[in-house]
Structure 1
Amino acid sequence: MQSIIKSLPKSAGVYQYFDANGKLLYVGKAKNLKNRVKSYWRFTPQLAPNPTLSLRIQKMLHEVDTLSYIVVENEEDALILENSLIKQLKPKYNILLRDDKTYPYLAIDKDSSFPRIEITRKVQKGKNIDYHGPFPSGGRVLLEAIYEVYPLVQKKSCLKGKKACLFHQINKCHAPCEGKITKKEYQVILEEAKQSIIHTNRLIKLLTQKMSLLATQERFEEATKIRDWIKAITALQQNSTIDLASHEDFDIIAIVASEQRGVVLKLFMRGGKIISSDVDYFKNTENFEIAQAYKQVLLQMYQAQMPNSCKTILTAHPFEEQKQLASIISKRLNSPKEILTPQRGTKKKLIELALTNANELIRQQQQLEPTTPIEEKVATLFGLHTHPFRVETFDNSHMQGEACVGAMVVFDNGKWDKKSYRRYMLDAKDEYAQMQELLSRRIEDFGFMPPPDLWILDGGKALLDLAYRLLDEAGVNLEVIAIAKEKLDAKAYRAKGSAKDTIYTMNGPFSLQTTDLRLLWVQKQRDEAHRYAISYHRLKKRSLATKHALLETKGVGKATIKKLLDYFGTFEAINNASFEELSQLTNTKVATAILSNALINSKNQSN
């Protein structure tokens, strides 16, 4: 390796350290590869880690066996490639912050005759749309409150009709469909609503008046709903006594880490007011680097489709690549950006506000956490290098090679992350090949959805070895365990709290007491994956049964089926269609045959 280090080019690039087993340890970027990598080492009397480096880095370097590198055109490209490799390959000594959200915005289509306010996560290019936000939380409540207070067009379909609807009768719309309000008059109301989005205190005042009125009328359920809205809208803003004389826009980002837990806090200031905030927690490890954390957050946060973004990004801590990151983000968003860490004045007070809130959030979390979390106990027992705070569990299901499906469920920081659940239609027919297909497809998605801390497989050692082989081929550093169900009389036994399952790891099998909390923790993941896979399997099985039944219906030919599918889209929709709909498309004889067959098929499935 010494000869490789001495022959490194002086170009910008990314370097990767591997251990003796070929496992990726660390990914870093450099403006000058030769100088950066040489700074890690002392070459006399033999190659050894630089003693001036931190103990964490020295520990990593003692594990290094080989080095590889990728040359890129400039330092900005190196930054992007470094972040991408960390996200996909999950090196042992890089921290991975998962923050690839798309935030919702409130959007107003100004080309509409009577514009509505709608919530969206998509940015439509080339359209005259006014975006407000982002609103990481509370955006939908804010929208509902706006429509409660201001008589805007309540539904998209309202303008299509030519007659005033119920909303006009209850004084929630001025019926532009009947011409009862002019465009100019409507625009005045819309402008007031927009100001309430920006200055939510106005909206809170109006809601409070409405809540009091409802309470005096003894309409307590409606009053309670508005009270909850007021709480949610108030929570959008961080408490701040800072008064900006100008109507400036800032994104303020603070990252704080304690010994065990870290937090990323984002404050969104628009027009001199903090309109919303967002919080992400992460488990701190010895691999934490504040500069690396800011780089990951910024590169993941500012993607090409981000409306209403501000020119200035304030970070609570300075780091070396601020100018390069600002250049990358400017190119992505096609507008100039700057990343600053203010040292004085009002902007410095904004940073202090963010840090104060971030530290308070960590303090609250520490009070809620147990002294030794179950994830730490699981990691210690199975010899895992990382505490499994984010876990993906896999299972597959089929019936004699039909309706073959796979499922992945995600457990993140003690909660089910159902938005990250995935279902897969599988081509393979046997369980081993199905798991291979399932895991291979998940590995392909690591660039979009980074690897977790741990994989759990519903199966034995053969599937464990399969998973490690696939991960090694992809160069991904991820730990895996498998849980095999106890079998009695050749049948899997799944009774909760009683199953004597075996857990397979790279350190050998474990057979734990049925009351062991660590076993129950793994079983909980496996059982949720099984439930999710089975529910999808049953859905696909019903779909296949419906398809087969329709194809076998007498008097219904292929041309008729094609005509019905072109109109309804799916076999299920055909089965659920009314007699009138089917008759109009075909004839009464075919409609009767389809509905009769659907009824018989439904009874057979219920039995």
Structure 2
Amino acid sequence: MKHYTRTPTDDPRITRLRARLAEIPERPGVYLHRNAGGEVIYVGKARNLRARVSSYIVGRGARDGKTMSLILEIESIDFVVTNNELEAILLENNLIKQYQPRFNVLLRDDKSYPYLKVTLSEDYPRVVFTRRVHRGRGDAYFGPFFAGTARKMLKLIGDQFRLRTCDLEIVEGKSAVARPCLYYDMHQCPGPCVAGLTTRAEYRRVVDDVMLFLGGRNRELLDALKERMYAAAEAEQFEVARHCRDLIRTVERTQSEQQVASPGDADADVWGVWEEGGDVAVAVFVMRGGNLVDRKEVFWEKVSGYDAPSFLAEVVQRFYEDNLFIPGDVVVPVELDENELVAEWLSSKRGRRVSIRVPKKGRAVDLLGLATKNAHLSHGSRFRTSKQTRLESAATRLAEILGVDGELRRIESFDISNFQGTDSVAGMVVYESGKLDPKQYRLFNIKSVEGADDFRSIAEAVGRRYARVIAEERSMPDLILIDGGRGQLNAARAALEKLDKGSIPIAGLAKREEEIYLPDADEPLRLEKRDPALQLLQQIRDETHRFSITSHRKKRSRRTLTSELDALEGIGEKRKRTLLEHFGSVSAVRQASVQDLAKVLGPRVGRALWAQLNGAGK
């Protein structure tokens, strides 16, 4: 939801921030917003610091909920001037990593994904499984991977490339132990722990092979291995040649398992994004040398004021800040905010040009569609499950609050809708096993009540519903929810008592104060707004209200259309239904052209109806 606001000028906080604004130069740089406790809550970059910061303090345009929440917390502003925009984006990334501001988009979910670390800081590096990235030590990180993928890769490297797996401190030219371990005898390690068994140069060549493999640069690796194999065969070093052959087969087998081809043979990352209700799923297809070598997923819950270009721009920066390898081609579904600047920053990190583009045709369009589909599926799997789990937990808490024995697996909720006492209907919705089930919704046309009488109307609907449930020998719900206060609740309970079902748990939820009414409680129950039990009741109540009022409007529209068309000549029940289904309302019928009416009713009847509606011939 957009909020259109003008910041009050008499607020001392705003006055203080405006005074600070005068000190901020019109230069590129980075700004930091702090709250009353001095905590950095947002870090941003700007071409023009003063103009950008002033948009928070004196801006009058549309603002999303996230921005409004941020503005209300800003107590002080710091800034750092840079020489250009590229320096600003580099500094922004470093400060976000340092402060982890809660109003910035952070790749928090990446913490659950593992990396493979090549310990280049050691004379004889290892490949290890890790969930923490420590920059500045000279080690290389690959990932993040799915945990299963990372462990599979680690085992394959251990079996085929024969790097050491021990954690001994090994220095070139010195023996760390008297004799090598069993892995050396099994040809699973070259034995760098004992001086003279291998050289650092030989060992480092294997490390280079591993890094090509982990980086997805299989073609370069295959070319190097084949050249090495032929050279070893010519020198009659058949054991070395055989090992190179085995490595070639391993790499080719791994390559053949990756069926999806990227556009051309280039390295590319293809970004698929899916957002619903502020919940966002991102799927990144990692293409190396023309093949899909990995897929990465990241999720965010309740992103306030979601805007795809700005959100994705920030996510792309966070994603590549901690990635060792940056491809030359980044394929995205929408053009990023400051697309050229982000591409320039990536190019500076990579040391070569990086393109960020939205494809218009070719294989890249197909890959983007596939990545988006994966993001959609992952979104459904992740958030449908988490939402259902939250609802089930809320139902458990609600049962405790209401003193209901057992689980609240099924809740049936009722609401009355009418217009000045006419066309009264009762809507009933069903919550079952952690979700609302529209297939079980029911609508009751109120028959025994004239005028606006919600109490008698709710009694009729409840009585009819459960008389039928009893007659059909079906199970009663675990809880009945009534949209209303004490009066509606008592009317519904009286209807249940007539059916000898007065012991069924029942509650009323009043809209204005969100108070929960219970049959035997003198005072309504009031829960905190964030209480999941109250939120569950509100969700069910609001859905019931939506269903009942929508159904009432349809009924009223049909009646209005029918009554107004009754006076027209040549329009019987069948044609009235046809008009209703096609146009939906009397006003739409009146506004229809003679051609539109002729298409629905035929030329002769259509012209005659148009003439009657428009007073032709009077």
Same-fold call, TM cutoff 0.5: no
Larger Rg: 2
What TM-score results when the alignment is normalised by the length of structure 1? 0.41
